[in-house]
Structure 1
Amino acid sequence: MAIRGEEAKNRFLNLLKDPVLLLIIVLIFAALAIFIVYPLFRVFAVSMTDKEGGFDLSAYSHAFSNRYMRQGFFNSLLVAGLTAIFGMLVGYLFAYTLNRTDIPLKGFFRTVAVLPIVFPPFIGALSIIMLFGFNGIITAGIFGIRNFPVYGLWGLMMAQVVCFFPVAFITLDGVIGTISPTLEDAAFNLGANRWQAFRKVILPMSVPGIASTMLVLFIESLADFGNPLILAGSKFPVLSVQAYLQITGMFDTKGGAALAVWLLFPSIAAFIIQKYWVGKKKYVTVTGKPTTSVLKSVSKPVKWILFSLCMLIAVFTLTIYATIFWGAFVKAWGMNNTLTLENFKYVFDVGLEAIKDTLVIAFTSTPISAVLGMIIAFLLVRKVFPGRRVMEFTSMLSFAVPGTVIGIGYILSFNKPPLLLTGTLAILVLNFVFRYIPVGIQSGVALLNQVDPAIEEAAYTLGADNRQVFTKVTLPLIMPAFFSALVFAFVRAMTAISAAIFLVSARWNLITVQILSQSDSGRLSEACAFSVLLIGMIMGFILILKIFLKNKISLSSGGTAGQG
């Protein structure tokens, strides 16, 4: 204990020798405390106090005694669990097929497998209604079925799996891609057949990645707000939606905060398990660069079965998003399919301010989030200071916290002096900055761990200070991670809904809120037009950035960041 105390003292003394570094660390801790920890504290505090400020748990007892609320909690866990299972299976199917077979169209499948990441999460829900609803193309138009249960578990599951399986694919693609085929060759040489080689070699080595992926998907689904708001329906309550309705519909801030706390516990538990237990478990192959072919992994019939399954899912996924584009150009979805451009005229008449606001918020928050993520990653990997683990946990905490909880926390925390931010640009920008810094941190940490510290040490030896080393040595080395974080933070800022829906105002609105508003009003074609415009802006930003950076960025690095 004495040795550890002496080490902590030495670390603190080293910090005092560099006041700029100390100031940066103190400011980051302060920012994390104010904009991540304090809103969560306020949610807990409001849910447990009465109007006079006394301790009161009546909101919890009311929630637990309400059968509808209890059902919402269990429904949330059910959907999250099923999304984790089926999303992982679809992601594993794509990852295994692309890494262990020689199927054609690999580039096409890889593109489709990450395509949903750049779409707002709830757009798939709109499309599912248009395909499988009462006037759906497939259900009513092809099969004459007008009572398909699109609202509830089945419709919601379709939307969740399509929305979140790319997260599983990105993780598992990396896991399976690093397993050397020579291990399977060794199994074949020992007399194993293909099934045995898969079951006893590939699958066991994939287990840490599978477990981590399932926990991430569980968190993503539990935190999702847009899909349940559109597809859950009144007969299938989901807790994230109920917390929102409790505040906006019943004007019961305390009850909404209690439901948010209820939702928070399984999310935080899954996050801690994923990060500090499963995330640390992995298998490493030491066979060097693969030199053998992967063609032995599956037989020809199995290869084509896997190809067919991937193609089926790819076609379904593309149909989901193609339907949105079709819906944007028809007069009234399900009633009048005459082609028209009136929907886009309506978008610019009604939503021009929301379009401008969304771009301003995204372009303001994105660079701040990416830079702050790189700075924190640099501190976590390259610096030793008291509280480093606390900084790591706190900065990554927003990944685990459902957007509904964050939104409630922000309106409770910043609606009175000295931090009166409600209704301003600042509250939306700060929400996006601190909600999506985990993207930059994950990308930066991963790349910094691959950069030899000797390069930076050489700069120090030549007389450079911390600022010069970071800006002239470290940052250029991690630039791919920085721009990947930039792209992903921009995409999420443009498509966010769960926290932002609490924070928009008459002065500052978002396209995503407009889409939900139009769909709630039954204007599906107008909602589709808003969606197409939003997708076009996102793709245009990514294309321009890729051209300038010569394709050195990828969405894959941010695949496990929180959605919504």
Structure 2
Amino acid sequence: MAFNKYRNKMKSDVTDMKKIWRDPMLLVTIIFVIAILLIFILYPLFAVLKESFIGKDGFTLSAYSETIKSIDFRNTLKNTLMLGFIVGGLSTLIGFIFAYADSYIKTRFKKLFNIVSILPIISPPFVLALSAIMLFGQRGFITHKLLHISDANIYGLKGLVIVQTMTFFPVAYLLLTGLLKHIDPSLEEAARNMGASRWKTFTTVTLPLMAPGLANAFLLTFIETVADFSNPMVIGGNFSTLATQIYLQAIGNYDMQGGATIAVILLVLTILLFVVEKYWIERKSYITVTGKASRGRDLIDEKKIVYPIDAFCLIVTIFVLVFYGLIPLGGLFNIWGMDYKLTLKHFKYVFELGIKPLIDTTFLSAIATPITGVLAMIVAFLIVRKKFYGRGFVEFSSLLAMAVPGTVIGIGYVLAYNTKPLLLTGTATIIIIAFVMRSLPVGVRSGVAALQQIDPAIEEAASDLGADTTKVFTSVTLPLIKPAFFSGLVYSFVRSMTAVSAVIFLVSARYSLLTVNILSQVDAGRFGVAAAYSTLLIIIVYIAVSIMYFALSKMGVSKDQI
């Protein structure tokens, strides 16, 4: 029985591979994708792995032995896991509530919620940490100026939970809102017509359909949290995390092997989480887009449902707006916490001496964005719709970039591309590649989740009519997953504009990035200049995203679809 099952599987695999051989464009695409993933994701990580095992006398496990025995490392590991689960859970919950309000609730504040939910994602993550210090620190406006508290302490776990939750919940929101809007209303209406209550329908129909999206959102925000080093560096205080420990070990102590060792341990943890999530999701099928006509959803207007959700979203909205309102104000005051005299000197400094990082960052991000969007959808299409040897490798490798800290990828790029034949350090190419590889997993995740909700019979019908794989992808699949595709474009651009950890090692005198300059200003205590830089960055990103939305509207894609 087992032998026959294995033989049938082998026959099926051979048949699938024959189909690929008969489609040269598909074969070339698969080879190209595998080569890209090998060269720009696995090879740099291999360089880091190699660094952790190779000492002065050759192969050694001493770095791992010393790290695991260290009490500081054990505390740091505990801190990282606790922070990841808290922020991942809160971010997913808040993101889902915002997405539900956007897709299901009849509310007057929908546009406000949409604006606020995008704000944390169009700014560097450490900007909110800066705002938290300026509001609640020892010289904070609220704690010192208004409440006259002299020993206020925003540093540590509580500060990190607040800042990182505000930073990462929009990522969950962007992912979940697209999935909620594509749930066929007839499925929920059928449950209601059978006598199920709103709550029963929500728990037995909506939530199970959203399980892949929720798991993806939690996975993404968990990884973002434990991999983030900028917020812990700014507001972490004595609460150390693995990401900051990697950075301090490799850069502060010039111990590249020690930093690589901690990075490998963190990588193992995040990969284990990914495997558990993947196994749980793939046990079920989630197809809600069948190609059949379906009318629009009737938005919920019951006060007992609308008012609590509105109240919650408004509280979060006000909280976020206060933090962001402080950023331009911080750039207008002479010395925050001491001299609140209005001045434009910080903005003048940026325009006279710091304009190059603005230009470089925008230019490189604009190049990386379309590359990321197209590559992500191609990878998602191959993973979900095609069977070929190496498909598991493509899926694993394409998602691996979000399972490691950005600092590790940056170190890996330096180690891997500092010698021939790929001598890329100091060039714009290596920065663009880093942007693409760091944003790729989110686009792939979004594309995979969207494709899992589309009945394969739609594409099979096109194939039966004679369309090849390229034609099916461009004329059938891509139009059906337009929201996921354009959501990936927007996220890729803002992520590239606000990236810091993955590219902090890659900047050079020729190409300077804005986020790296902002972080250096924060480290130097020049909060006014950092706030001015951050204000201009947010304005540039918002204008660019608005232009993108306008261009997409001319192509027949509305904001609500993204």
Normalising to structure 1: TM-score of the pair?
0.86
Q: Distance in 2 between matches of 1:293 and 1:363?
A: 37
Q: Spell out, residue by residue over 1:499-518, the C-alpha distance to the aligned partner (whole angstroms, 9 max, x if none).
A: 11122223322100001000
Q: Report the equivalent of 1:516.
A: 519
- Correspondence 1:28 to 2:33: yes
1:503 aligns to what SS in structure 2? coil
**Structure 1 residues 172 and 454, CA gap change in structure 2 (3 angstroms):** closer
2:340 aligns to what SS in structure 1? strand
Q: Distance in 2 between matches of 1:339 and 1:23?
A: 60
Q: Report the equivalent of 2:48.
A: 43
1:504 aligns to what SS in structure 2? coil
Counterpart pick for 1:380 among 377, 380, 383: 383
Q: Distance in 1 between matches of 2:264 and 2:150?
A: 38
Q: Distance in 2 between matches of 1:208 and 1:367?
A: 26
- Identify the range of structure 1 (442-451 vs 395-404) with the bigger mean alpha-carbon deviation: 442-451
Q: Distance in 1 between matches of 2:256 and 2:166?
A: 33
Q: Distance in 1 between matches of 2:8 and 2:410?
A: 44
Q: Distance in 1 between matches of 2:222 and 2:216?
A: 10
Counterpart pick for 2:552 among 543, 549, 552: 549
Q: Spell out, residue by residue over 1:4-43, the C-alpha distance to the aligned partner (whole angstroms, 9 max, x if none).
A: 3233333434444444433332222112111111122222
Give 1:210 shift.
4.5
1:420 aligns to what SS in structure 2? coil
**Structure 1 residues 85 and 397, CA gap change in structure 2 (3 angstroms):** same
Amino acid corresponding to residue 239 of structure 1 in structure 2 = L
Q: Spell out, residue by residue over 1:202-224, the C-alpha distance to the aligned partner (whole angstroms, 9 max, x if none).
A: 66776665455333322221122
Q: Distance in 1 between matches of 2:299 and 2:20?
A: 52
Q: Distance in 2 between matches of 1:144 and 1:65?
A: 44
Q: Distance in 2 between matches of 1:501 and 1:480?
A: 32
Unaligned runs of 5+ in 2: 1-5
- Correspondence 1:343 to 2:349: no
Q: Distance in 2 between matches of 1:22 and 1:196?
A: 47
Q: Distance in 2 between matches of 1:280 and 1:52?
A: 47
Q: Report the equivalent of 1:149.
A: 153
Q: Distance in 1 between matches of 2:559 and 2:149?
A: 39
Q: Report the equivalent of 2:415.
A: 412
- Correspondence 1:105 to 2:133: no
Q: Spell out, residue by residue over 1:288-335, the C-alpha distance to the aligned partner (whole angstroms, 9 max, x if none).
A: 768777345x63xx6434432221111001111111121122222222
- Correspondence 1:320 to 2:344: no
Q: Spell out, residue by residue over 1:41-90, the C-alpha distance to the aligned partner (whole angstroms, 9 max, x if none).
A: 22222111212332x11111222222222222211111111112322332
Counterpart pick for 2:374 among 371, 374, 378: 371
Q: Confirm or deny: 8 A CA contact 1:76 1:222 kept in the other structure.
A: yes
Q: Report the equivalent of 2:463.
A: 457
- Identify the range of structure 1 (399-408 vs 220-229) with the bigger mean alpha-carbon deviation: 399-408
Q: Distance in 2 between matches of 1:86 and 1:25?
A: 38
Counterpart pick for 1:274 among 277, 280, 288: 277
Amino acid corresponding to residue 438 of structure 1 in structure 2 = P
Q: Distance in 2 between matches of 1:68 and 1:555?
A: 47
**Structure 1 residues 281 and 156, CA gap change in structure 2 (3 angstroms):** farther
Amino acid corresponding to residue 405 of structure 1 in structure 2 = V
Q: Confirm or deny: 8 A CA contact 1:427 1:503 kept in the other structure.
A: yes
Give 1:532 shift.
1.1
Amino acid corresponding to residue 370 of structure 1 in structure 2 = G
Q: Confirm or deny: 8 A CA contact 1:481 1:553 kept in the other structure.
A: no
Q: Confirm or deny: 8 A CA contact 1:103 1:307 kept in the other structure.
A: yes
Q: Report the equivalent of 1:53.
A: 58
Q: Distance in 2 between matches of 1:14 and 1:198?
A: 42
Q: Confirm or deny: 8 A CA contact 2:521 2:529 kept in the other structure.
A: yes
- Identify the range of structure 1 (493-502 vs 426-435) with the bigger mean alpha-carbon deviation: 426-435
- Identify the range of structure 1 (397-406 vs 546-555) with the bigger mean alpha-carbon deviation: 546-555
**Structure 1 residues 389 and 243, CA gap change in structure 2 (3 angstroms):** same
Q: Report the equivalent of 2:300.
A: 294
- Identify the range of structure 1 (303-312 vs 97-106) with the bigger mean alpha-carbon deviation: 97-106
Q: Spell out, residue by residue over 1:78-136, the C-alpha distance to the aligned partner (whole angstroms, 9 max, x if none).
A: 11111123223323443455556544322322332333222222211111111111111
Give 1:469 shift.
6.1
Q: Distance in 1 between matches of 2:561 and 2:47?
A: 32
1:337 aligns to what SS in structure 2? strand
Q: Confirm or deny: 8 A CA contact 2:133 2:140 kept in the other structure.
A: yes
Q: Spell out, residue by residue over 1:369-400, the C-alpha distance to the aligned partner (whole angstroms, 9 max, x if none).
A: 22222332343345433222221221122232
Amino acid corresponding to residue 378 of structure 2 in structure 1 = I
Q: Distance in 2 between matches of 1:480 and 1:201?
A: 22
**Structure 1 residues 43 and 12, CA gap change in structure 2 (3 angstroms):** same
- Identify the range of structure 1 (401-410 vs 274-283) with the bigger mean alpha-carbon deviation: 274-283
Counterpart pick for 2:400 among 379, 389, 397: 397
Q: Report the equivalent of 2:3.
A: none
Q: Distance in 1 between matches of 2:25 and 2:207?
A: 49
- Identify the range of structure 1 (548-557 vs 313-322) with the bigger mean alpha-carbon deviation: 548-557
Q: Distance in 1 between matches of 2:409 and 2:117?
A: 29
Q: Confirm or deny: 8 A CA contact 2:212 2:449 kept in the other structure.
A: no
2:370 aligns to what SS in structure 1? helix
- Correspondence 1:71 to 2:105: no
Q: Distance in 2 between matches of 1:25 and 1:382?
A: 13
Aligned-residue RMSD, C-alpha: 3.3
Amino acid corresponding to residue 244 of structure 1 in structure 2 = Y
**Structure 1 residues 22 and 348, CA gap change in structure 2 (3 angstroms):** same
1:222 aligns to what SS in structure 2? helix
Counterpart pick for 2:170 among 161, 166, 174: 166
**Structure 1 residues 544 and 210, CA gap change in structure 2 (3 angstroms):** closer
Amino acid corresponding to residue 158 of structure 1 in structure 2 = I
Q: Confirm or deny: 8 A CA contact 2:300 2:306 kept in the other structure.
A: no
Q: Distance in 2 between matches of 1:197 and 1:469?
A: 35
Amino acid corresponding to residue 327 of structure 2 in structure 1 = I
Aligned residues: percent identity? Answer: 42
- Identify the range of structure 1 (520-529 vs 324-333) with the bigger mean alpha-carbon deviation: 324-333
Q: Confirm or deny: 8 A CA contact 2:483 2:561 kept in the other structure.
A: no
Give 1:143 shift.
0.9
Amino acid corresponding to residue 354 of structure 1 in structure 2 = P
- Correspondence 1:217 to 2:221: yes
Q: Distance in 2 between matches of 1:159 and 1:533?
A: 21
Give 1:522 shift.
0.5
Give 1:3 shift.
2.7
Unaligned runs of 5+ in 1: 559-564
Counterpart pick for 1:304 among 286, 289, 307: 307
Q: Confirm or deny: 8 A CA contact 1:363 1:490 kept in the other structure.
A: yes
- Identify the range of structure 1 (175-184 vs 492-501) with the bigger mean alpha-carbon deviation: 175-184
Q: Confirm or deny: 8 A CA contact 1:133 1:146 kept in the other structure.
A: no
Q: Report the equivalent of 1:260.
A: 263
Give 1:359 shift.
2.2
Q: Distance in 2 between matches of 1:266 and 1:415?
A: 29
Q: Spell out, residue by residue over 1:406-449, the C-alpha distance to the aligned partner (whole angstroms, 9 max, x if none).
A: 12222222222222222222221111122222344344445556
1:124 aligns to what SS in structure 2? helix
